[in-house]
Amino acid sequence: MLSLTKKRKKFWRFKTLSRTIPTHVGIIMDGNGRWAVRNGLHRTKGHSTGLKATKAIVAHVARSPIQNLSLYTFSTENWTRTQEEVGALMDLISSHLKAQIPFYNDYGIRIVHSGSKLRLTHRITDDLTKIETMTANNSHLTLNLLIDYSSQEEIMRSMQRITDQKLPITQENIANNLDQPSLPPVDCVIRTAGEKRLSNFMLWQSAYAEFIYTDTLWPDFTAVDFDQAMDEYSHRHRTFGG
């Protein structure tokens, strides 16, 4: 395994007090298709290039003090895209999951999944289960992959679990029955490609998150862009409504 203590000191460029470092960052990775169109390529090429950017950012965050990272990988609404594009996205997800297990273990990354598994292929659901098991003891970074994810559906699943357990409907019970109840609230949400909306991303968990928007398309998003976002976050004064 990599000496992550040394690598964190070497690679983490975010220079600020530890109290301003977010515990949980969420990223809405937007702009793959537009990147491909701007470069005269098929939209599917944008997704494969975006996947390379994702791996680079995950490695960078794993070398930082941040403990949790949630990535909006495939939304429930994405099923409405063309059959060709959806098929390409599912193929990318399927081929990527198991192939990256050595990478995740090398960087000490624990994988968890948020979203529904009912519409995913058996291969993807089986791979998700295997990768969650094989990375369960990693502790440097928890990477939450949002695949077939809708925050509204997640809240509905939580309510159904509460009903099934005959529990009172409280904020605590709702939080404890979300897809990944062990994850802390999201401190910072980054959205690329110039869009300024939440798009059904972790509505409950992001209730008091700081939002940072960038015009950079996801395939062009680098560790430098991420550090700039973290620097901006470090200057935010969070009051949590108080």
Annotated binding residues for Mg(2+), written as ranges, equal 30, 210
Confirm whether 176 is a catalytic residue.
Answer: no
Angle between helices 122-134 and 83-99 (to 10 degrees): 30
End-to-end CA gap in the chain: 43
Q: Binding site for substrate, residues?
A: 31-35, 43, 47, 75-77, 79, 81, 191, 197-199
Count CB neighbours of 185 within 10 A: 16
Closest CA to 113 of 71, 80, 152, 61: 71
Confirm whether 126 is a catalytic residue.
Answer: no
Catalytic pick among 39, 68, 78, 126: 78
Q: Binding site, residues?
A: 30-35, 43, 47, 75-77, 79, 81, 191, 197-199, 210
Q: Which two tokens mark 166? A: 């005959």
Residue type, 75: S
Residue type, 59: A
Closest CA to 184 of 222, 138, 144: 144
Active site residues: 30, 78
